[in-house]
Every structure is written in structure tokens, then in C-alpha cells.
């Protein structure tokens, strides 16, 4: 028999569902009742084997039935799913030899009553297939909408994985080429299943060779399939390579394999490929050259021409509003949402560099601080501004806080150099942590709690530092004149 072709674009119909159609009056006489039907075929040939594709419900009236055991054995060899035997006009009842043969070979045998036409059975199967297909399309649509919504969340990679685990009712993980787990969602799996998933990940995303690029393959990677699958103790395992040559794979462990699961997984693969891909602008070459020169010892001022205009950079600091840490993938997704490919993340804070003055919109689930535009040589100062703005955003519970530009109004009437000299002399007794605490405390109107939130320290530490500032400066910090003078000095110095 030739290789079986791919199944039809409709999900299979269970034999049990067909048997449940009361208007057909079908009755199971032998074999299991859990078979899946891909199509219906009618034949009165003594040996229909050459004309079967596999998965059929074969309908016959037994016109040329002679050797029941040989007949059933050939059907099983051809891959038929079930046999429907029509009572009359040839036989008044289903032959016992046929019942025994089907029971022996494990082929479901269905009795078709005289009043039920074979065409009615075929029509019922096609109707059930259409209904199953419609249900599957709705399921895939719901999954697609849920995954797209998850991709717009503050933690898009984790959110997409969680939704995928829900819709496939299994375990999903984002793995590296060596099988390392970056993110995972869904129920726990046995160690041998995890090992198998790691092995499949290495199949679809092989590690670079030690001897260099393989002929005909870019990036030094061996030729590999885009997906791989296997089954282990009733668990279906799958791995899909993410696009962009990033060396990542999506791994799935599901208790069953339903029609449409591959489509849902494919949607997730596309979204995860976009979310984890590096986002490079048209001027990426110049920025890369600037980075190389900085690493090789060039001063920031020397590489400024490669990065664009002098006052054309904005620093953004962001932290998750719920306090959870942000990894590099999440940081990259946030940066992409703000239109940048330049991001970094430590245990608490995401830092993003934006090209040009930017109005940063709120991002759901994030607290954000934004610096004023700065030249590349002034980025350290802009970084400090963004950090203070983020602290202010968290303390005042606003989604975005932007650092205000330099002094204006009455303070602007004093020459900057004289104001800075006065500030330096006035604030000389204070260390940097004390001066920063005093500045934040004054900017938040003397609120101990909000200053503690902004600086991420205990409120008692704030009290101790402010008391220390008052002692070192020998000033009454409850006096508004004193507070005003210190505020102008801190603004001139910092």
C-alpha cells in the first residue's frame, strides 16, 4: 500500500459520536467504540484493500463476503477505522463469523438497520466533521486573540507562554539551544519529559559547530528542521524553532494532540519570534561603530558624531509596578514598545536609551522615569535624572514622571556659575547619599513614606539621613526659608 496521504483539512469524527445519532439507529456489535473516522467509503468488492486510504468507515452489505477473517484482516491492514454492515438485502442479520473476526482483529463493527441508507450515514459524518471544524476554528480564533492580547502586556513573553499553556492544557517552555529554560508556564513535568524536550530543542536549534560554519548554512549552524515531535508515556512532546536565528525554541508537552494545536502553536512561535528578536533601526551600523569605539577606549565626545545630534538622547528607567523582576527579554519588549533597541535590565530596573527627545507614553504594568534630552557626553547625568524621576513616579504613584528642565523663574536670575559655587559651598558637608536623600525629601514635600518609596529604603533610614543633614548643615529643616534655599542649591548642584 502506498504511503498514507495527509489527513483532510477537517478534524476526525469519533465513532462514538456517530453511534450517538439516534436517527441513524446504528449499533456497535464488536471491537472498541473509540475509533476516529476521517471519511466514509462504500464498497462491495471482495477485497477493497487497494482502494482504501486509511481512517475510513467502510460500508458494505456483504455482497461478495466469503471469508470473513481474511476480509477483516485486509481492512485492518489497509488502516480502516471501522466497518459498517448493512442488514438486507443480502443478509437478514450480521453474520456471526464477521462479528467474531472483527472482535478478534479489534476492528469496530457497526450494524446498519434496513431503514438507514448508506448515504444518510455519509451525510451525518460530513455534518459532524463540519461542526467539529467550526468548533476548532472558533477555538483557534479565541486562542489567537488571547495570544495577541498577551503579547501587548508588560511581560509579553511570559504572558504568551501562560496563554499557550492554558489553551493547549499542557506545559510550555522557551528553551535555549542547549536546552536551558528561559521561561516556562503550565503544570510540572517529569524529569524524563524535561530531558526529552531539551533534546528536541537541540534538534530544531542546534548549537554552533566548533569548527565554524557548515557548508550551505549561515551562522555556523547545522541544517535542522523547524519542528520536531515524539510521544512518551502518553505525553505528546513538540519543539518549534523561533525565527530570526536567535537560538531559541518553543517546547510543548501536552496530554493530547487536538486538531488546531499546531496552528495555535504556530501563532505563538510567530509572536515569540517577534518579541525576542533584536530590533535594529536604520542607523544601527553607526551605533554599533560607536559602541565598538567606546569599548576600544574612545571618549564619548569622539563617538558623538556617529550617534546623531548633540542633544538627542533620552534615558528611561522603568520598574514593574507589581515589584517583580524584569529579565532581558521583557526589557527588550518594553524598549521595542518605546521604539528603541537599546535596553538593559538588572535585578530591579530596566534602562532604555531613546534617540531624540521623546514623549514617553504610559505602559501598562510599569512605573517609568524619563530624563530630559542630553548629549551623549552628558548621558551619566541623564541616567541620574531618569533614576530620580522613576523614584518620583513610584512615590507619587503615577505611571510616568519626567525630569524637569533646568532652573528658571527667579532662580534663573542668578548666574549659573555663581549659583553652582554657592551650592557647592553650602552643601559641602553632605555626602552624595545624604544630598540625594535631602533633595528627594524636599521634592516630595517632606514626606517620609514617599521618600522611602522613591529611594527604596526604609522610612527610618530617611529620618536618620535627614536628621544627619540638619546636624551637618546646622540648619532648621522645618523652616521654609531654609528649605527653599537648600532646594535651589540642590537644583543648581545636581
CA distance 104 to 30: 9
The tens digit of pLDDT for each residue in 279-306 reads 554 456 666 677 777 777 777 777 777 6
**Degrees, nearest 5: CA angle 196-199-201:** 115
pLDDT class of 218 with cuts at 50, 70, 90: very low
pLDDT value of position 102: 96
Residue 418 has pLDDT above 80, yes or no: no
Mean pLDDT of 359-388: 86
The tens digit of pLDDT for each residue in 232-247 reads 877 888 999 887 667 8
pLDDT class of 211 with cuts at 50, 70, 90: very low
State percent of the chain over pLDDT 90. Answer: 29
pLDDT value of position 51: 92
Q: How far is CA 220 from CA 206, 217, 224, 225, 249, in A?
A: 10, 7, 12, 15, 17
pLDDT value of position 316: 93
Residue 95 has pLDDT above 90, yes or no: yes
Residue 329 has pLDDT above 80, yes or no: no
pLDDT value of position 214: 37
Q: Note whether 372 and 385 are within 8 A (CB).
A: yes
Mean pLDDT of 405-412: 54
Mean pLDDT of 431-452: 86
pLDDT class of 208 with cuts at 50, 70, 90: low
The tens digit of pLDDT for each residue in 306-318 reads 666 545 788 999 9
Residue 123 has pLDDT above 70, yes or no: yes
Residue 221 has pLDDT above 80, yes or no: no
Give residue 54's Cα distance to chain centre.
37
For 355, the grid coordinates are: 534617540
Q: Which of 47-51, 102-106, 163-167, 335-339 has the lowest mean pLDDT?
A: 335-339
Residue 226 has pLDDT above 80, yes or no: yes
Mean pLDDT of 268-276: 87
pLDDT value of position 40: 95
Residues 6 or more apart in contact with residue 313 via CB below 8 angstroms: 307, 353, 354, 355, 356, 373, 374, 375, 376, 379, 382
The better pLDDT of the pair 28, 493 is held by: 28
Q: Which fold has domain 152-210+222-276?
A: Beta-Lactamase (3.30.450)
CA distance 436 to 355: 28
Q: Note whether 121 and 40 are within 8 A (CB).
A: yes
List the domain boundaries for the chain: 13-127, 152-210+222-276, 284-402, 409-493
**What's the CATH class of domain 13-127?**
alpha beta
The tens digit of pLDDT for each residue in 137-186 reads 888 899 999 999 988 887 888 899 999 999 999 999 998 888 888 888 98
The tens digit of pLDDT for each residue in 53-87 reads 999 999 999 999 999 999 999 999 999 999 999 99
Domain with residues 409-493, CATH architecture: Orthogonal Bundle (1.10)
Q: For the chain, give the mean pLDDT.
A: 83
Instruction: State the pTM of this model.
Output: 0.56
Amino acid at each position: 500500500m502506498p504511503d498514507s496521504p495527509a489527513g483532510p483539512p477537517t478534524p476526525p469524527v469519533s465513532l462514538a459520536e456517530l453511534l450517538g445519532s439516534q436517527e441513524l439507529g446504528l449499533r456497535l456489535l464488536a471491537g472498541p467504540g473509540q475509533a476516529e473516522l476521517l471519511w466514509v467509503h462504500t464498497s462491495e468488492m471482495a477485497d477493497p484493500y487497494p482502494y482504501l486510504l486509511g481512517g475510513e468507515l467502510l460500508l458494505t452489505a456483504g455482497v461478495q463476503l466469503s471469508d470473513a477473517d481474511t476480509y477483516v484482516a485486509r481492512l485492518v491492514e489497509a488502516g480502516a477505522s471501522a466497518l459498517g454492515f448493512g442488514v438486507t438485502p443480502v443478509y437478514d442479520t450480521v453474520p456471526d463469523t464477521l462479528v467474531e473476526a472483527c472482535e478478534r482483529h479489534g476492528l469496530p463493527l457497526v450494524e446498519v438497520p434496513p431503514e438507514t441508507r448508506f448515504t444518510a450515514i455519509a451525510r451525518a459524518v460530513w455534518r459532524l466533521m463540519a461542526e467539529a471544524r467550526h468548533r476548532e476554528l472558533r477555538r483557534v480564533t479565541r486562542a489567537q486573540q488571547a495570544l495577541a492580547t498577551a503579547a501587548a502586556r508588560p511581560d509579553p513573553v511570559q504572558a504568551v507562554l501562560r496563554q499557550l499553556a492554558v489553551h493547549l492544557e499542557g506545559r510550555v517552555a522557551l528553551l535555549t539551544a542547549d536546552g536551558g529554560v528561559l521561561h516556562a508556564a503550565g503544570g510540572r513535568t517529569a524529569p524524563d519529559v524535561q530531558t526529552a524536550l531539551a533534546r528536541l530543542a537541540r534538534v530544531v536549534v542546534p548549537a554552533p559547530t566548533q569548527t565554524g560554519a557548515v557548508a550551505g548554512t549561515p551562522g555556523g549552524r547545522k541544517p535542522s528542521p523547524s519542528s520536531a515531535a515524539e510521544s512518551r508515556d502518553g505525553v505528546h512532546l513538540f519543539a518549534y524553532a523561533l525565527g530570526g536565528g536567535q537560538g531559541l525554541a518553543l517546547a510543548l508537552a501536552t496530554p493530547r494532540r487536538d486538531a488546531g494545536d499546531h496552528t495555535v502553536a504556530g501563532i505563538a512561535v510567530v509572536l515569540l519570534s517577534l518579541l525576542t528578536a533584536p530590533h535594529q533601526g536604520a542607523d544601527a551600523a553607526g551605533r554599533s561603530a560607536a559602541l565598538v569605539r567606546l569599548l576600544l577606549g574612545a571618549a564619548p565626545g569622539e563617538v558623538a558624531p556617529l550617534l546623531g545630534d548633540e542633544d538627542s538622547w533620552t534615558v528611561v528607567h522603568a520598574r514593574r509596578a507589581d515589584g517583580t523582576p524584569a529579565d532581558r527579554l521583557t526589557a527588550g519588549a518594553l524598549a521595542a514598545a518605546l521604539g528603541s533597541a537599546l535596553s538593559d535590565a538588572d535585578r530591579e530596573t530596566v534602562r532604555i536609551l531613546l534617540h531624540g527627545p521623546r514623549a514617553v507614553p504610559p505602559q501598562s504594568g510599569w512605573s517609568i522615569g524619563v530624563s530630559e534630552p542630553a548629549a551623549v557626553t552628558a548621558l551619566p547625568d541623564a541616567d541620574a535624572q531618569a533614576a530620580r524621576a522613576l523614584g518620583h513616579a513610584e512615590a507619587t504613584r503615577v505611571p510616568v514622571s519626567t525630569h524637569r528642565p533646568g532652573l528658571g523663574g527667579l532662580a534663573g536670575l542668578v548666574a549659573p556659575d555663581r549659583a553652582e559655587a554657592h551650592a557647592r559651598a553650602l552643601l559641602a558637608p553632605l555626602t552624595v547619599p545624604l544630598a540625594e536623600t535631602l533633595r528627594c525629601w524636599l521634592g516630595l514635600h517632606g514626606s517620609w513614606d514617599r521618600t522611602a518609596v522613591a529611594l527604596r529604603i526604609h522610612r527610618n533610614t530617611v529620618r536618620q539621613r535627614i536628621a544627619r543633614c540638619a546636624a551637618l548643615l546646622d540648619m532648621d529643616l522645618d523652616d521654609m526659608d531654609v528649605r527653599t534655599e537648600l532646594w535651589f542649591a540642590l537644583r543648581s548642584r545636581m
